[in-house]
Amino acid sequence: MQDNKKTIVEIAALNPKKIGSFEELMIDLSLELKRMGIEPVVVFNEEVPLNLKSRYAGIELARLSREKGAFQFYCQLFKLIRKHKPDIVDFHFYPFFSMMTIFVSLCGVRNIIFTDRCSGEIEEKKGIKKILSLLRTKFMMRFIKKMIGVSNFVVERDKTIPGIDASKLVPVHNGINLAKFSCVRNDKEKFLKDMCNAGKDHFVVMSATNLIKEKGIEYLISAADILLKENRDMMFLIVGEGKDGDELKSKVKGLGLEDNIKFMGLRSDIDQILAVSDVFVYPSVWQEAFGFAIAEAMACGVPVISTRVGGIPEIIQDGVTGFIIPPEDHIAIAKALRELYQDSVRVEQMGKKARERVERYFNMKTRTAKVIGIYKEFL
């Protein structure tokens, strides 16, 4: 008897060192596919750490690494496709014009989807480069059935790529695990004392991001320098790691603010830190595809101050769930923080509206249903 079981392979250019919102999405999507009788396979750059594997219970995991060079990488990919014979391959964090597109198609996969999660702008090409780019894009689009953009910004940006087939572009916003990121408040006094030696009366400002220049943390530090000269009962918690971390820590040390600006490193309890935070700041200076951290904070009932870049304005309602400010403007960050510091009632009101917005528009379950609806078109 012929085996009619369907298989969908999700390939993500990601090192799964933690269970963040993207990993939560992969888990939720995979479990829902299994309930439908479809076999999911989730592929990362590295092995899932042993302490996290239980979160992927019942989901087949695989590794696809470039550490031994391109030849070995494509050998691994060939074996993966030959083993699972997927009906659909969905790429995450890869450029759609990657050679993987052609390779996977040559391996027999007829339904290739790209979920575009990439931040940044499209580089404008001129002359012969523009012509070559157009021809390449038109050729690649022959192999791709659908391109899912994680925000309207991503879709509209991708429409400007010469040669793109706009009919294959569809927006599906990212979603958040509302059960994990909730408005339930911890014992703020104990949690803050244990974590950073702060008290319950501190006004806690949190940020969580990669410590790279594109994320604009230097502007948050400059804003903190202004505010801490006015009020010493503010605590700034910066979660994350990255290549510019040492430079940012040196800036804080040079300003003498180590007692009030704490670098927390990579954390797995971001939801708990958000639960004791008053405001979340995301000062990105480049075109963000979406902004998981923003939606996570809003789901926890925390108002957000962030910049008018990329897909961020699709998440925040300016003046309702937080503030949208210009990028590279530490004065604007300080002004918005000062306004909320001085008005606890508004902080509470904005936090409530933020949670309601995430429940309505950025629910993980809703996103999973929309993505499966797209998959069904090709099964």
Name the token pair of 104.
């996977």
Alpha-carbon gap, residue 264 to 12, rounded angstroms: 26
Alpha-carbon gap, residue 221 to 254, rounded angstroms: 11
State the residue for tokens 């597109």.
101
**Residue-level pLDDT, tens digit, the chain, 379 residues:** 345 789 999 999 999 988 999 999 999 999 999 999 999 999 999 999 999 999 999 999 999 999 989 999 999 999 999 999 999 999 999 988 888 999 999 999 999 999 999 999 888 888 898 899 899 999 999 999 999 999 999 999 999 999 999 999 999 999 999 999 988 776 777 888 888 887 778 999 999 999 999 999 999 999 999 999 999 899 999 999 999 999 999 999 999 999 999 999 988 889 999 999 999 999 999 999 999 999 999 999 999 999 999 999 999 999 999 999 999 999 999 999 999 999 999 999 999 999 999 999 999 999 999 999 999 999 9
Do 7-175+363-376 and 188-361 have matching folds? yes
Read out DSSP for 329-373? -HHHHHHHHHHHHT-HHHHHHHHHHHHHHHHHH-BHHHHHHHHHH
Q: Sheet containing 88-92: give its strands across.
A: 60-63, 39-44, 7-12, 88-92, 112-116, 144-149, 169-171
Distances (CA, A) of 307 to 105, 282, 310, 322, 325: 39, 7, 9, 11, 5
Name the token pair of 83.
């083993």
Alpha-carbon gap, residue 239 to 75, rounded angstroms: 37
| Every domain of the chain and the residues it spans | 7-175+363-376, 188-361
Helices (H) and strands (E) in the chain, counts: 13, 13
Q: 188-361, what's its fold?
A: Rossmann fold (3.40.50)
Rounded to two decimals, the pTM is 0.93
CATH superfamily, domain at 7-175+363-376: Glycogen Phosphorylase B; (3.40.50.2000)
Q: Which residues contact 231 (CB under 8 A, 6 or more apart)?
A: 203, 341
